[in-house]
Structures are given as C-alpha cells and as structure tokens.
Structure 1
Amino acid sequence: MEIPYILTSREARLLLFSKGTVKLNLDLRKTNRTWEITKDGEEFVFPDGTRVSKEVIEKIAKDDTSVYLVRRGVYKAAIAGEHFYKLVPTIPPTIEINGIRMHRTKEVNPLQDTRSKVNAVKPKEGETVLDTCMGLGYTAIEAAKRGAYVITIEKDSNVLELARINPWSRELFTGGKIQVIQGDAFEVVRKFKDESFDVIIHDPPRFSLAGQLYSEEFYRELFRVLKPGGRLFHYVGNPGKKYRRKDLQRGVMERLRKAGFVGVKRVEEALGVVARKPLKEKG
C-alpha cells in the first residue's frame, strides 16, 4: 500500500504563505522528516508529481477538523457507510465515528490518554497482552514498546483502513511484536486457550454500541483467558454520570467481581477500573 502525504489546515496555511519551494512535514508530525513542495503558478506540486490547485489548498486551510490525503489527487481521510468515520487532526490523531471521538482530547491528547490506560496495568518485558478493541492501535503499540507481545482485536474494517493510513498506527503492521486479528472480540476471545495472557486491556466502544462487551458473560471469558495473578484494565469513561446520575463503573465493578476478579477498584485518572485474577491456592 502506498503511503499518502497528509495535509491538515496547519500545513495548508503554510503552503498558502509560501512564495516558492517549501519544506513541510506531511506525516502528522509522527517524524521530523520534511518533504519539498514547489509552487507552480496557481498549483502546488508534491514530491510524487501530484498537482493540487490553490483553490483546494484554501478549502483545506479552512477545515480544522479533518485530515486530507494527497496521492494522485486529494481525498479526505473519511469513510461513509453505515456509520461515518474520519481521522481528526489531533496529535496523534483520533477517530471520530458519527461525531463521537474515540479518545479523550479535551484535557489530554490521545497519547496521554493511552498511556494512562496502559500505566494502570504496567505490562512488562516478555509478558503477553490482550488488547480487546484496537481502534487506531495506540494501546497495542504502547504495550509493545514496553517489551510485551500483544494480540489486538478490531471488528470494524473501516477502522482498520483508517489505521493503515494513519502514520501513528504504523507499528501495528511493521513492529513484529503485535498480532492484529479482525473479528468481534466477544467471539474471538472464546477461541483463546485458558490462561493465555498476563495482562488484558479492555477499551470497548460505549455501552450503547457494544453492550455485550460489558456483560458478565464476557467478563467470565476474560477471567478464563487471564493467567492467575494477571491484571485487567477496563476503560469505562463516565457516560451519563454528569446528567443522569448513572454510575456505569459501579455496575462494571459488580459484574467483574461476580466473574471472579478481585482487587476491583476505580482508576480515576484513566476513567476506568482495574482488577486481577487471584493466584491459585497451593495444594
């Protein structure tokens, strides 16, 4: 797959201010690399020869909420189907599905959001981690950087397609320590052997979209595949709490205990819950 050049409103504005040749970062600041773009009359010429009119660059410059791909044409990094998916130009990017962002972006950036989740269970060198809901893969990548081997699951082919475009997701497909499985976590986890994982990071879509991933039945499967003494982090967020006084975390904690987990407690900074599987009793 050819890797496209990536433009946001920031780069578009820099192009409009340029007088001739300009060097720009075109991978959402994942690296410090720059590419040379030349101005030819009312067009901008990219390194692969793609010509983009000033009019198109002006439109991109006014759009602060989208990511654009340049490769023999200009395309918005968005997919319309049953739902509407788009990359959002936070650094690193997040995905928006039907207008709902998949990472926290107000008080923290998506990378800080990811690290708070991974820090809740602290994967170690040589451990095996299950990441139940991949998204853009930042959790899997962060766990792999800490020396763990990671199996990550993603149900949605549209999310996978955007991950393949996103420079910040590249290690998912090139790092060697991450195995990506496309499928429904509810079904995929059933196929794993007992006591396969040292750590599970469970970051499901909101309850209204994936209620079965919050069920006691699913938690029992997570308990089964976790090694004795293994750690679980479950991202829950605070949906509905502010306005309806509904405490989703409390219900999650009750079901985790029923499934056999111990040490169940809230991790406020990560908006989730940690738990562990008891060690086997001797004798």
Structure 2
Amino acid sequence: MEETYFLTFREARRLLLSSGGVRLNLDLRKTNRTFEITREGDRFIFPDGTEVEKNVLERIARDEDTVYFVRSGGVYKAAIARNGFYKLVPTIPPTIEINGIRMHRTKGTNPLQDTRSKVNSVRPGEGETVLDTCMGLGYTAIETSKRGAYVMTIEKDPNVIELAKINPWSRELFTGGKVQVIQGNALEVVRRFKDESFDVIIHDPPRFSLAGQLYSSEFYRELFRVLRPGGRLFHYVGNPGKRYRGKDLQRGVMERLRGAGFVGVRRAEKALGVVAKKPTEPP
C-alpha cells in the first residue's frame, strides 16, 4: 500500500524554516511516527521520492483551514467539490467542513474531546451492540469500539465516507473489525433493523435545518423500537438559536422523545445533548 503523507500549515512552515533535512510527523499527529524530508534548494524531497516545490509549501503555509496530502508524486487538498464542497480542517484530530459548516465543536474543545463527552453520556461497554446513526468521520464509532462494543454506523453521504477513507484518524472504521459501516439514509436503514437490536444508540445528526426528519417523532419511534429494554440513548442537539432568539430546540426534542416512549429524559449539558432510556418493562 502506497504511503500517504499529510501536510498542514504547521508542517509547511517548519519545512520552509529548515535549511537541510528535518524530521516531521506526517499523519496529523495520529501517531508519534516521523519521517525525514530533505531540502535541496527550493525542492523538498519526501521519503517516497515526491518532490514538492517551495512555492507549493508557501501556499499551504498560508492556508490554516485545509489539510493537504502527498501521494504518488503529487500534492492534493483533502477536499471534494461534488454536490457541495467538503474538506478536512486541520484541527487535531481533523474535523470535516461541508459548505462552510464544521461537523464537530472546535471552540474551546477538539473533535476527540467532543466525541468522548458524547460517548461518556451513555457509557457503552464490553460486548454491547451500539447504533451510531450519523457516522461523519467515525470518531464516535471508533471511540465506542475501543470500549469493547460492536458498532453499526450509518452515513448517508458518499463524499463524507470518501474523506473518512483519506483521514488517518478514521482508519479504524475500515480496519478494526468491530465497526460496520452502512451507507444510506438513517431513517430508511433503521426501519430495516429488527426490534430490540441495540443496547445503546448514539444519535448525532446534522443541524435541524439540514436534517429535520432526524429530529422527528417518526424517527424517534423507530429508535425506540430498535433499542432493547433498558437501553440508553444519547441525542446530540446543540443549542442553535438559544442565545440569540430564545429558542430551545432541546426542549422540543425531549418532549418528542417522551412521546415516543422514552423515560429518564434529561439534558446532558457537557455534551450539548439529551439522554434517555427505554423502559425495562412495557407501560
């Protein structure tokens, strides 16, 4: 398998300051592995022989919002312009940005901390079966699988899956063996699951304006159906509009979850979401 070397403005700036060779991490800090890059005048030579010109690195050094990668002699943006514009953003670990909207919280936190706060809200354990309704870059599914659970994760957008396959922080989605990736519309996929299939559901949908059906009573009834008695649900909601317009989307979510049959419905403040349970006994 050919090696891929990832570059952000950070690595580009270090290379431009070097006078000869320099060792750098080139997998977005996923590991501590480093590589030697040599400099010959205005050319920078990567371990696979790819030569990158100084003017290319200067452009990367000025771009603080995009991940680049070196592969097979070329330098590419980790971005897709197809039915919208998708790109990896060089937070650590990276987040994904779709049409200018970031898919993780990055202010005062990072995507990994954000993920752990969500997963900790329902604490999936060894041997449990977990449904992750909206995969994104897969950090939730990976973190959950590391805790010993088996995860089924759904992603509607093939462009997002393509970026996940590029992103080194998403590698365990496709290599770990405890995560099954399903491409499809979450509502349609969940309808196909048998009753009481999952111990835990982590529901982290796009914002309401982009995916209103994933906040609907109809979808919540499907989630209730496929959850086992006593099973736990975490639903990321965020606080869109609350600060400026007095709206409380979480309250509406909580009311619809109760209407679908969930109990113990309460806010999970740190994770900006809601947690709930399915009763152990029928009402």
TM-based fold match above 0.5:
yes
- Alignment-derived partner of residue 42 in structure 2: 42
Amino acid at match of 1:11: E
Superposed, 1:202-281 pairs within 5 Å as: 202-280=203-281
Give 1:222 shift.
0.2
**Residue type at the aligned position of 1:114:** T
Q: What whole-Å deviation, never above 9, does each CA across 1:197-251 have from its counterpart, x for those lacking one? A: 0000000001111100000000000000000000000000001111111111011
Q: Amino acid of the residue matched to residue 64 of structure 2? A: D
**Structure 2 Cα separation of the partners of residues 16 and 140 of structure 1:** 37
AA matched with 1:55: N
Q: Residue 39 of structure 2 aligns to which amino acid in structure 1? A: K
Give the match for residue 114 of structure 1: 115
- Stretches of structure 2 lacking an aligned partner (at least 5 in a row): none
- Residue 238 of structure 2: SS of its match in structure 1? coil
Paired AA for residue 10 in structure 1: R
| Matched letter for residue 31 of structure 2 | T
Paired residues for 1:1-283 under 5 Å: 2-71=2-71, 72-280=73-281
The SS at the match of 2:48 is coil
Measured in 2, the distance between the counterparts of 1:2 and 1:186 equals 37
TM-score, structure 1 normalization? 0.98
**Residues 124-173 of structure 1: CA distance to partner in whole angstroms, max 9, x if unpaired?**
10000000000000000010010000000001011001101111111101
SS in 2 for 1:254: helix
Change (3 A) 1:3 1:235: farther
1:52-89 CA distance string (max 9 Å, x none): 10010111111111100111211111111221111000
1: CA distance, partners of 2:53 / 2:43: 4
Residues 135, 141 of structure 2: 8 Å contact kept? yes
Secondary structure at 2:220's aligned position in 1?
A: helix
Would the aligned equivalents of 1:3 and 1:165 in 2 still touch at CA under 8 Å? Answer: no
Moved over 3 A (4+): none
When residues 3 and 188 of structure 1 are mapped into structure 2, their CA distance, relative to the original with a 3 A threshold, is: farther
Q: How far 1:21 moved relative to its partner?
A: 1.4
Residue identity in the other structure for 1:201? I
Give the CA deviation at 1:3. Answer: 4.7
Distance in 2, Cα, partners of 1:198 & 1:162: 29
SS at 2:181 equivalent = strand
> Counterparts of 2:282 and 2:239 in 1: how far apart (Å)?
36
Greater displacement, 66-75 / 24-33: 66-75
What is the CA–CA distance in structure 2 between the aligned matches of 1:45 and 1:222, rounded to whole Å?
Answer: 52
Letter of the structure 1 residue corresponding to residue 223 of structure 2: L
Counterparts of 2:241 and 2:231 in 1: how far apart (Å)? 30
Give aligned-pair identity as a percent: 80
CA distance in 2, matches of 1:188, 1:276: 21
Question: Alpha-carbon deviation of 1:105?
Answer: 0.4
Query: Can you list the C-alpha shifts for 1:9-58, whole angstroms capped at 9, x where unaligned?
Result: 10001101111111110000000000111112211111111111001011
Question: Structure 2 length as normaliser, TM-score?
Answer: 0.98
Compute the displacement of 1:2 (Å): 4.0
Instruction: Quote the offset at 1:281 in angstroms.
Output: 5.3
Q: Provide structure 1 residue ranges, at least 5 long, that are not aligned to the other structure.
A: none
RMSD: 1.1
2:84 is matched by which residue type in structure 1? H
8 A contact 2:128–2:150 mirrored in 1 = yes
